[in-house]
Amino acid sequence: MMDVARSLSDALAQAVAAAEASVVRVEARRHVPSSGIVWSADGVIVTAAHAIEKDEGIRVGITDGRVVDATLAGRDPSTDVAVLRADTRDLKAPAWMPAGEVKVGQLVLALARPGRTVRARSGIIGALGETWRTPRGGEIDRYIEPDVRASWGFSGGPLVDLTGRLIGLNTSGLMRHGLISVPQATVARVTETLLRHGRIRRGYLGIGAHPVRVPAAQRQQAGQEAGLIVVSVETGSPAERAGVLLGDVIVGVGGTPISHLNDLMSRLTSETVGTKLRIRLIRGGAVQEIEVTVGER
């Protein structure tokens, strides 16, 4: 029994040693440092967007004790990912674990560097899911919830397996309680866009809406039992210019049935900004269509 415990202890320590050179300290909030992950050796750092309070005067502490200046390349609050460019070219990028190898129940470590040295907390993969739409509208390619106690400074740091391979970027900014790990596929997509454009474009209509059951008399014509009732329309918004009214029940956008807010958010991608979409809605007991030019949030 003692040998098993010693072997596990050694494995945990080796995992930290394998990954710690890729974990940095991010100084971008007053008196509250957070962590970051080396994305590429030429100074690109990924971290949690909610940990970035200021756009200037950002500093990054790396494993050899140096503290270097960094600039904000961009941030995406909807996925809670931010990208920094650190003033150094000799960082160590980590190895990432293939998504298909992540399993519920696996032992994992959350790593952080809120000070000069790395910190670790152990736990397991508590839950895995499919694509997840965050409360802020961002799309996470795979839901990963580690059963690891959250603590200050751990947002922006990595979740690693027992070989030190990275599973995701940890953040406490997407849920009210606990950590979520943003998988590599999402981090890569957001990072590449932010490095290229400095921002993530989001489609925008300018309405507030809630799910509602379609009146029985219109269900056959609408072809569905639920839709979104419009409860607010912003002044000067694409929706107002298109003629969307309070009380309209949206049942389709761009040929896709709409029953929930996630359905609508998934249609308002960066590719739709500036394009015209047909909105199918119920108004005055009849199903009709109007055309809206999608704006940018």
Sequence ranges of the domains in the chain? 1-200, 203-296
- 3 pLDDT above the threshold of 80: no
Structural domain 1-200, CATH architecture: Beta Barrel (2.40)
pLDDT digits (tens, 9 = 90+) for 254-264: 988 999 888 88
What would the mean pLDDT of 58-74 be, rounded to a whole number?
94
Confidence at residue 105, expressed as pLDDT on a 0 to 100 scale:
96
- 279 pLDDT above the threshold of 90: yes
For the ranges 32-36, 44-48, 269-273, the maximum mean pLDDT occurs at 44-48
pLDDT digits (tens, 9 = 90+) for 79-119: 999 999 999 988 999 999 999 999 999 999 999 999 999 99
Confidence at residue 82, expressed as pLDDT on a 0 to 100 scale:
97
Report the percent of the chain where pLDDT is more than 70. 99
Beta strand pairing call for 132-133 and 158-160: unpaired
The pLDDT mean for the chain works out to 92
- 138 pLDDT above the threshold of 70: yes
pTM of the full structure: 0.80
Confidence at residue 285, expressed as pLDDT on a 0 to 100 scale:
87
Tokens matching residue 30: 């007053």
* CATH H-level, domain 203-296: superfamily: PDZ domain (2.30.42.10)
Q: What phi-psi label fits residue 102: left (phi over 0), alpha (psi between -120 and 50 degrees) or beta?
A: beta
pLDDT digits (tens, 9 = 90+) for 158-209: 999 999 999 999 999 998 788 999 999 999 999 999 998 888 888 889 999 9
pLDDT digits (tens, 9 = 90+) for 222-263: 889 999 999 999 999 999 999 999 999 999 999 889 998 888
- Closest to 86 (Cα-Cα) out of 47, 56, 43: 43
